[in-house]
Amino acid sequence: MTDFTITEDFPRSEIEFDASFSNLDACYQYLFQLKWPDGFVCRKCGHQQYWLSSRNLYICTQCEHQHSLTAGTIMDSSKKPITYWFKAMWWFTTRKSGINATKLKELLGFGSYGTAWTWLQKLRRCTIRKEREKLSGRVEVDEFFISGQRPGKRGRGAEGKTIVAVAVER
């Protein structure tokens, strides 16, 4: 995956967000600036001239190598418009209580719960820092079991429950 770092003021409200990223061109321009802050440079030959295809591929005028702004990102090979991805990322990162797949499906008008669930899994994987350090100092740990209602034994000894453990550094 390509690492992108936000180096500018990001929208502070959904109205500002919608004004900044309401169309495909605005989203692609934002990604272009992140990928090539000093202008296009072909990663194959180093040439700086390109032409833009109808599929938003940047094609080097010298070696004709194709560059995609979404290649190597969670948006790679997606059939949905990039504006949907930007909106999903906005809701994922700004909603205090988070967003679930059912709500994302409803908000984006997806026909499939599976698509919304897959998108959220990709977004969640992006939040994990590979080089994270171990928890230290005062650490609080809790565990709980989760599942639907089932007949039989109740409580911790019930069969078919999934244990969830949580730890946080204070």
Q: Each residue of 77-114: pLDDT tens digit?
A: 999 999 999 999 999 989 888 899 999 999 999 999 99
pLDDT of 24: 93
Q: How confident is the model at residue 115 (pLDDT cuts 50, 70, 90)?
A: very high
Residue 49 has pLDDT above 90, yes or no: yes
pLDDT digits (tens, 9 = 90+) for 56-69: 999 999 999 999 99
pLDDT of 133: 86
Q: How confident is the model at residue 144 (pLDDT cuts 50, 70, 90)?
A: confident
Q: Quick one: tokens of 142?
A: 């809790």
Q: Which helix (H) or strand (E) holds 17?
A: helix 14-20
pLDDT digits (tens, 9 = 90+) for 3-41: 555 556 678 899 999 999 999 999 999 999 999 999 999
pLDDT of 111: 94
Distance of CA 92 to the CA centre of its chain: 8
Mean pLDDT of 118-126: 94
Q: Which helix (H) or strand (E) holds 165?
A: strand 162-169
Asked if residue 126 lies in contact with residue 159, where contact means CB atoms within 8 angstroms, the answer is: no
Distance CA(166)–CA(140), nearest Å, equals: 8
How many Cβ atoms from other residues are within 10 Å of residue 14's Cβ? Answer: 12
What sign results for the dihedral spanned by CA atoms 76, 81, 82, 85?
negative
**DSSP classification of residue 11:** P
Q: What is the DSSP string of 113-146?
A: HHHHHHHHHHHHHHT--TTPPPP-SSEEEEEEEE
Bridge-partner residues for 141, per DSSP?
Answer: 167
Q: Quick one: tokens of 42?
A: 């072909």
Q: Mention every residue, 6+ apart, whose C-beta is less than 8 A from residue 156.
A: 145
pLDDT of 128: 84
Find, among 33, 74, 82, the residue nearest to 55 by Cα. Answer: 82
